[in-house]
Structure 1
Amino acid sequence: MDPYTHAPPPPPLPPRPATRRWWRRRPLVVAGAVLVPSVGIALLLHAGGPSARGPVRDDARPPEGTATGSPSTKPAKPAVKPSKPSGPPALVGKNLKEARGIASAAGFDVVSHDASDQDAEQWDTDNWKVCFQTSAGQRNGDRPALDLGVVRVEAPCPAADGEKPPWPTMPAVTGLTFARAVETLKPVGFRKVEPESAYSDVALPGVADPWKVCFQDPRPGGEVENPQFGTVYLKLAPPDAPCPERPYAELRP
């Protein structure tokens, strides 16, 4: 019997390793292809490379000595001390109340005194005006002060500080018409000019402009102090009648 008539069967092949299907691997490949470029671009932008921001220009660099830190690291500015006033403001002619405000805003204190011969107190600062201005040294530390010589707003300024104000003199208006007399008295600043008839038996007309002045009060030549509070009384005669010898005489006795 031939021993080689039936050959023994070949040995079995080793098992093949398990493999994944292609449709299961592709999503991973695609995700990796998308993820890798994105991460690379982000890293380039974060690193601030030339491809992300472009080349740095010389003129864009901060000048030397300039602080480049955050705002919190900047040095604090030194406190600026208020500067002293360069010179006093001109206050002559101004109302005392206004002058005080201007001087204070310019860095000056103010003291005041009556510039006339009356030595009155200035309680109502609205009713006084500045005639003289001098330095009064320094008060309240380094703050300079001004001494203001003032008079009542209706009074003229004296020629020198402490002298009597030059009040106007009463002009002579006798012999003038009433209309002309009123014009002559206007610059003095009287509060009122009151016409009266010089005759007791002649009534004054409604318009006495053409009548002539026979007597006046105050008398001419005297000093008129505070004329803004005073009244002038003028006694008149008709244009066709002479002036009487005394006021309130009868024209036709």
Structure 2
Amino acid sequence: MSVSRCTARGTVLAVRALTALLVLAPLTACAGASGRTAPSPTFSYPPLASPPAPPDYTTRIRVADYAGLRLDEAYRKAREQGFRYGSHDATEKDERPRPTGWAVCFQTPAAGAYAQSAPMRSSEADALDFAAVPFGQPCPPADGRPIGYPALPDVVGKTSRQAYTALGAIGIRDIRPSPARPEDDLPDVAEKHEKWRVCRQTPAAGQEIDNPHYQIVRLDLVYPGSSCPPEPGAVAGGDSGSGQDTDVDTDIDVDGPDVHLHRPGICHRKWWC
């Protein structure tokens, strides 16, 4: 019995030793000659694709006509069309234009031409160059040339309506009418005295003006069918420009409505003195 037990115990020990050997065998096989473990596997990835190129928003469009626009309005429209912009004095004075006080006379590129447009007025966009003058001034005949200012037309003898039309044609806007006779009641509204007649104008006809927009023209008017009173200082029945003294009967009633007398040093009609 003792021999059998010893044999059985040896068998069990042999089985356990064999099992341990089988378990350790794979680990020993993975070790290299130096005793280090095998490196972990590596993975390769495909290269990243390059980012797409930004879309090209630039395009050539027809340039609008900006002539006559106030400079800040021209800037706004150019910006909406995707153009860059700048400005300069259209005359020979070479002053610096102000956006709110100047108007466009000429432009480059010209209206109707095609130019490069881009969003946000980037460097790819073409620039529009505006030649401008102070608001109300006439444009010069060409960019960089002096302004040829007009002369006042002769409106004496014309109706108020005809005078307003002739003065407005050269850019005059500040016209100030007044009655030539103090006893006349001139309507405040221009349409109500359009048939009145011009007796005098100030400044006189033919005078050159610097800027029609700021020029004041005064008109002395008489009621339709009435005659114009004489010029201040005129001599009754004579030429006020002759320079000769005229004898005047001081006994004449100078307060009469139709008597216009003048004696050197004395003004008989206070309303024209």
Could you say which TM-score interval applies, normalised by the shorter chain?
0.5 to 0.7
* Aligned-residue identity in percent: 34
Counterpart residue number, 1:129:
103
- How far apart are the structure 2 equivalents of 1:210 and 1:140? 59
Give the one of 213, 217, 220 matched to 1:235: 220
- How far apart are the structure 1 equivalents of 2:179 and 2:80? 57
Query: Which one has the largest radius of gyration?
Result: 1
Counterpart residue number, 1:152:
134
Question: 5+ unaligned residues in a row in structure 2: which ranges?
Answer: 1-48, 110-115, 188-192, 237-257, 261-273
CA RMSD of aligned residues (A): 3.5
- Counterpart secondary structure, 1:149: strand
- State the AA in 1 paired with 2:159: T
Contact in 1 for aligned 2:86/2:127 (Cα 8 Å): yes
Kindly tell me the number of residue pairs found equivalent between the two proteins. 174
- State the AA in 1 paired with 2:60: S
Counterpart residue number, 1:32:
none
CA 1:178 to 1:85, structure 2 compared with 1: closer, same or farther past 3 Å? same
- 1:26-45 equivalence runs, <5 A: none
Counterpart residue number, 1:216:
201
CA 1:144 to 1:172, structure 2 compared with 1: closer, same or farther past 3 Å? same
Contact in 2 for aligned 1:235/1:247 (Cα 8 Å): no
Question: 5+ unaligned residues in a row in structure 1: which ranges?
Answer: 1-74
Counterpart residue number, 2:75:
100
Counterpart residue number, 1:89:
63
User: Is the counterpart of residue 117 in structure 1 residue 103 in structure 2?
Assistant: no
- State the AA in 1 paired with 2:153: P
Displacement, 1:217? 0.9
- Counterpart secondary structure, 1:234: strand
CA 1:129 to 1:82, structure 2 compared with 1: closer, same or farther past 3 Å? farther
- How far apart are the structure 2 equivalents of 1:142 and 1:235? 60
Displacement, 1:237? 4.7
Give the one of 154, 163, 179 matched to 1:181: 163
Displacement, 1:171? 1.3
Give every structure 1 segment of 4 or more consecutive aligned residues whose post-TM-superposition deviation is greater than 6 Å: none
Counterpart residue number, 2:27:
none
- State the AA in 1 paired with 2:227: A
